[in-house]
Amino acid sequence: MAPDASLPLLLGLAWLLPLVSFTIIVLFGPKLGKAGILASYLATGAIICSFLLSITAFGIWHFGGLGARADGDGAHSTTIAATPGDMHAAEDAKQEADAHSDGAHADAAHGGEAHGAEGHAAGGHGAGHSVPTSVPNHYTKDWYSLAEFGPLKMSISYYIDSLTVLMFSMVTLIASLIHFYAFGYMHDELHAIEDHEVVLSNGHHLHRPGRFYRFFQYLSLFCFSMLGLVIAGNILMVFVFWELVGICSYFLIGFYIERRSASNAANKAFIVNRVGDFGMIIGLMALWGSLGTFAFGDIKNAEGKVEHGIFSTVRPAEQIAGPDGVTHEPFSLRVPDGMVKSAAMDKITQEGIESTPDQVEVWRQEKYGYWLLIIAGLGIFCGCVGKSAQFPLHVWLPDAMEGPTPVSALVHSATMVAAGVYLAGRFYPVFTGEVLLIIAYIGAITLFMAATIAITAVDIKRVLAYSTVSQLGYMMLGIGLGGWAAGLFHLVTHAFFKSLLFMCSGSVIHATHTNDMRRMGGLRHKMPWTAYTMLIGVLAIYGAAIPFVIGFSGHYSKDSIIAQSLSFWQLNPRHGAILSGLAIAGSGITAFYMFRMWFMTFAGKPRDHHVYEHVHESPPVMYVPLVVLSVFAVTAGFPWLPFSVPKLLEQARYPGAVATAPLLDKVVFPEEYLSHLDPFHSQAEIMITFVALGGLALAVAFYGLRLLNPDEAKSQFAPIYRVLWNKYYFDELYAAIFIRPVMFFSKMIANFDRWFIDGLIHRLAAGVKKLSLLDDAIDRYFIDGLVNLLAAWTWSLGNSLRSLETGRLRQYVMFIVIGTVALTLLVRWSVAAGG
């Protein structure tokens, strides 16, 4: 079976299986076994099947050599490897750094050697060494057309490339493990439970039946939505499943809906996401209004005619010669005609200039429609910001920890929040330089801020939540700096070790029934599996490694991001200083707070003996997934594996140079392959190693060996501590800017409603009441009077006639006869009168 048929089949099945289980559970949830326990088997079976299917697809992709590009062989690539160099030089010709660029060339040659291992492992094709010059191998097609509005097609389509396959494998793997984990974690829900965190009005705790099956039903729905988001072939479908994962996270955060905090958190997450999605809708409108398509790739329609997708519209493959000789390089970002025209609409309509290709080219030179492209990019990125909790909209994710821990592990660390990064990566070809820079800044701010907040957090899950936010910030930073592969690489590795961390914390919470690290400590004696798997996770996120030899997965991904930032710094000193500074600092802080968490939880002496006594190791069903994940957390980043993540990502990289930022002068984005070369690579590795070691040392000093007293530090840096403790007052800020005004305004409206409109209505009602009283009086005295009068008359008449009714049969006979006689006489007289 040809891969273009088999891959969609496999992945489509993998996508739909969770939907099936969801449907079944929705329909027959409580009836599935005792307390719906079969529902969990069903959901788990479904997700495992889709995992196997995804793995199969992965195998087909890898061993089928489907990653090879049209021009994918080594000879070509090396020759082509030069051209980007020239192009690079051409781009920043205004810069006087010729020597650097030469050096860059030299490095390019040398780096090829230095990374020979990669080169060989990559099967001879030059991914990672150069800018690919052809569209990556992908399969896209319409499955089902929902609707067509003129040029706009709304369809269920798929876009499958190595990124899709990678994401599928990752998501289904983690989801399967977490399903298993949830068996153990959610078993309380199997029977009616008493929720001690909910106090009813009568002072008792809430008693409610278990919701075991419902949890798995939500999980299935989430898996379906997430996979649909990954496999989506057009941005509209992405949006739909985007919202679906949103609603799933809403359900799951609010799983303990009776807890006010949970329901508030759910609402918060949903509303904050709405803000981002609104921007996304703007982006969608910009795209549709100007391009008239939602599809990512080119799709052959029924007539066999190729309909251009967004990518090929924004980055045309052919070389185009402009009117004034300015040529357009293949696959480089180019404002599409649609945007130009729609931007120049007033010129076309009012001044009547017909839009010939030359005219359009002239307009394009005048940057017509460029801002439209920026808006499209920014809008889509807004969605990403909301979904993956970036700087302005990051407030929801920590609160989302109200949900059950498996949910936090799956939804709020591994997959859903990563969806924002995934979308940013998908849309990378469309982002202009300006947008990329904004992304980079957002990411940098986020990662630093979240990391700093995490220092002071004492809730174990919140620590992890903030670390998630900051790691997402890393990814965004990577993508924003042109490190497309780096960002997505970190996405994958982070998914593994962060879910591992969360599940470990879940295991801890499961054992201690508390989130507060201050009441833990020394747990590693009681729960070794959890402790050491978590240690592995911590090391992974810390990026521990023996430099240039081997390291945990986090090491490689974070390293590549930092390297990219360094190469960016080298090209743009000002921006680069800030961005890479923040990134590097962030890595140090990460090391600090992660180890702080681990020490506070597992090391030292138990602070709360009451808790400590009840602690016990979690059942195998919970720690076996931990072991599996820890294996992945260690190995997911190894670059020399034949199917290492970076190689796979390179197979999906869209050709063409990184976008330029014409509006911001002096901002140049380096090609990513440069960052793999020295000096950046080695610099980065050395830097983060030392910075992280510094953070580690601090953590050990504070919490491990207790050389320093954290409380003293607290009091010493009291103001900073307060700021951090209050999370930079973001919630208060939003409360002040948005919530209070809205509340005030709505109160005013409510008062207007209550006092003015209601008063009006009440007056009207009073008037009507008076009127009806009057009417009633009329009715009672006049009309009823008439009727009663009539009745009285009838009564008296009947009374007077009563006497006739003597009850004497014979009198009646006589009456009859008299009547007959009288009638006859009457008739006769009338006849006589008539005749």
* Residues at the interface with other proteins (CB under 8 A): 801-810, 813-814, 817-818, 820-821, 824-825
Q: How far is the CB of 769 from other proteins (least distance, A)?
A: 47
In sequence order, the β-bridge partners of residue 320 are 328
Helix segments in 29-130, DSSP class H: 37-63, 74-91, 98-114, 116-121
Q: How far is the CB of 830 from other proteins (least distance, A)?
A: 15
**How many whole angstroms separate alpha carbon 683 and alpha carbon 609?**
47
Q: How far is the CB of 772 from other proteins (least distance, A)?
A: 43
Of 716 and 794, which has the nearer Cβ to other proteins?
A: 794
**How many whole angstroms separate alpha carbon 457 and alpha carbon 823?**
113
Of 746 and 806, which has the nearer Cβ to other proteins?
A: 806
Q: How far is the CB of 804 from other proteins (least distance, A)?
A: 7
**How many whole angstroms separate alpha carbon 26 and alpha carbon 38?**
13
Look up tokens 């990678």; give the residue.
Answer: 166
Q: How many CA atoms lie within 13 A of 209 on its CB side?
A: 7
Q: How far is the CB of 807 from other proteins (least distance, A)?
A: 3
**How many whole angstroms separate alpha carbon 427 and alpha carbon 424?**
5
DSSP type of residue 551: E
Of 356 and 803, which has the nearer Cβ to other proteins?
A: 803
CA-CA distances (angstroms) from residue 155 to 277, 291, 292, 804? 20, 16, 13, 92
Q: How far is the CB of 791 from other proteins (least distance, A)?
A: 18
Of 117 and 818, which has the nearer Cβ to other proteins?
A: 818
Of 202 and 800, which has the nearer Cβ to other proteins?
A: 800
Of 202 and 803, which has the nearer Cβ to other proteins?
A: 803
For residue 220 the two structure tokens come to 């299935």
Q: How far is the CB of 805 from other proteins (least distance, A)?
A: 4
Handedness of CA 621, 624, 629, 632 (dihedral sign): negative
Of 99 and 804, which has the nearer Cβ to other proteins?
A: 804
Of 616 and 828, which has the nearer Cβ to other proteins?
A: 828
Which amino acid is it at 315? R
For residue 573 the two structure tokens come to 């000193």
Of 146 and 823, which has the nearer Cβ to other proteins?
A: 823
**Phi/psi zone of residue 285: left (φ > 0), alpha (ψ -120 to 50 degrees), beta?**
alpha
Of 733 and 822, which has the nearer Cβ to other proteins?
A: 822
Q: What is the 3-state composition of the chain as percent helix, strand, coil, each rounded to the nearest 5?
A: 70, 5, 20
Which amino acid is it at 391? F
Of 610 and 802, which has the nearer Cβ to other proteins?
A: 802
Which amino acid is it at 795? W
**How many whole angstroms separate alpha carbon 581 and alpha carbon 569?**
9
Q: How far is the CB of 829 from other proteins (least distance, A)?
A: 13
Strands 205-208 and 299-300: unpaired
Burial of 748 (0-12, 13-18, 19+ CB in 10 A): exposed
Stretch (H or E) spanning 306: strand 306-307
Which amino acid is it at 206? L
Q: How far is the CB of 831 from other proteins (least distance, A)?
A: 12
R_g (Cα) of the chain, nearest Å:
37
Of 304 and 835, which has the nearer Cβ to other proteins?
A: 835
Q: How far is the CB of 817 from other proteins (least distance, A)?
A: 5
In sequence order, the β-bridge partners of residue 300 are 306
Helix segments in 254-293, DSSP class H: 260-291
Of 108, 103, 100, which is closest to residue 83 (Cα–Cα)?
108
Of 2 and 804, which has the nearer Cβ to other proteins?
A: 804
Q: How far is the CB of 793 from other proteins (least distance, A)?
A: 17
Q: How far is the CB of 813 from other proteins (least distance, A)?
A: 5
**How many whole angstroms separate alpha carbon 450 and alpha carbon 582?**
12
> 3-class secondary structure for 565-617?
HHHHHHHCHHHHHHHHHHHHHHHHHHHHHHHHHHHHHHCCCCCCHHHHHHCCC
**Phi/psi zone of residue 513: left (φ > 0), alpha (ψ -120 to 50 degrees), beta?**
left
User: Count of residues for the chain?
Assistant: 835
CA-CA distances (angstroms) from residue 677 to 123, 161, 377, 567? 19, 26, 30, 10
Q: How far is the CB of 787 from other proteins (least distance, A)?
A: 24
Stretch (H or E) spanning 143: strand 139-149
Q: How far is the CB of 768 from other proteins (least distance, A)?
A: 49
The vertex-623 CA angle with 539 and 602, nearest 5°, equals 50
Q: How far is the CB of 832 from other proteins (least distance, A)?
A: 14
Of 729 and 812, which has the nearer Cβ to other proteins?
A: 812
> 3-class secondary structure for 178-215?
HHHHHHHHCHHHHCCEEEEEEECCCCCEEEECCCHHHH
Q: How far is the CB of 798 from other proteins (least distance, A)?
A: 8
**How many whole angstroms separate alpha carbon 58 and alpha carbon 10?**
10
Q: How far is the CB of 790 from other proteins (least distance, A)?
A: 21
Of 783 and 814, which has the nearer Cβ to other proteins?
A: 814
Backbone φ and ψ for 129, nearest 5 degrees, come out as -100, -20
Of 151 and 819, which has the nearer Cβ to other proteins?
A: 819
Backbone φ and ψ for 169, nearest 5 degrees, come out as -60, -45
Of 79 and 811, which has the nearer Cβ to other proteins?
A: 811
